[in-house]
Structure 1
Amino acid sequence: MAVVVEALDHLVMNVRDVEVAAAWYERVLGMTRKVTEPSPGRRVTSMHFGRQKINLRPETATQKQWFTGRTVAPGSDDLCFLTASPPQAVADHFRACGVEIELGPTEKSGAMGTIVSVYCRDPDGNLVEVSSYK
């Protein structure tokens, strides 16, 4: 029997400073921060939105502390988030937050058709795309 994945539950981002990253995702994208301790001495900060979450892994964590990909590189991610907000409202919100717009609003190809996207960068330099379907 073939395995077929259906959805993304969470992803892990390597960050230089967990507090700075968490504060940015709260302030700019309206995510909710949650801090847990899944095992003694291991504190995990995660950002929740919809039915998903992003775990923020400090780049200084070792493989023993936090099992992860082979290459730890803050700023190497390219993320696309969906919103019901109009693209111009997203751009206006970014400007009000003091976040520089890299590109947009502009049409791009999403997983289910044409999206209109506004791009910026988070504190680590990750490319963050906030999009809505046309």
Structure 2
Amino acid sequence: MRFAVDRLDHCVINCRDIDKMASWYQRVLGMEREDFGSPPRVALKFGGQKINLRPHDASAEDWIAAETCLPGTQDLCFIVAVAVPDIVGQFHSCGVRIELGPVTRQGALGPMGSVYCRDPEGNLIEVSSYSP
């Protein structure tokens, strides 16, 4: 039987400093921190998805991972339900430096307004809106 992917459940970001990363995603993007599991793990929940924060030097016995686990190598896009000027305003109020934008990009559902920044590990974070 063939299947088709329905949605993304979670992704994993490799980190040098999990607490610093969790704090940034909570403060800047409004995600909720969840501590779970054994050994202890940290996730950031939003909508129906989550991001697991993995120590970049975690052992294979503790955490199966990609072949190469380097902090700062992610490029992620998050959709928000506000207009692009509000994204810019929130970045400014949080002291986040804008790398690029606002610009128009082609998203999964069509054209969207995007603003780019970097998280504390250097990952490229795109925050986008399909709002006019």
Q: Is TM (by shorter chain) over 0.5?
A: yes
- Give the distance between the partners of 1:65 and 1:118, measured in 2 at CA: 35
TM-score (norm 1): 0.95
| Structure 1 stretches of 4+ moved >4 Å | none
Is 1:17 the counterpart of 2:17? The answer is: yes
- Give the distance between the partners of 1:63 and 1:3, measured in 2 at CA: 29
Cα drift, residue 64 of structure 1: 1.0
Cross-structure match for 1:45:
42
Task: Structure 2: give runs of 5+ residues left out of the alignment.
Answer: none
Paired AA for residue 93 in structure 1: Q
Cα drift, residue 60 of structure 1: 1.7
- Give the distance between the partners of 2:112 and 2:49, measured in 1 at CA: 20
Query: Pairwise CA RMSD of aligned residues?
Result: 0.8
- Give the distance between the partners of 2:2 and 2:33, measured in 1 at CA: 36
Cross-structure match for 1:118:
115
Cross-structure match for 1:60:
57
Paired residues in the alignment total 131
Q: Percent identical across equivalent pairs?
A: 50
- Give the distance between the partners of 2:95 and 2:55, measured in 1 at CA: 25
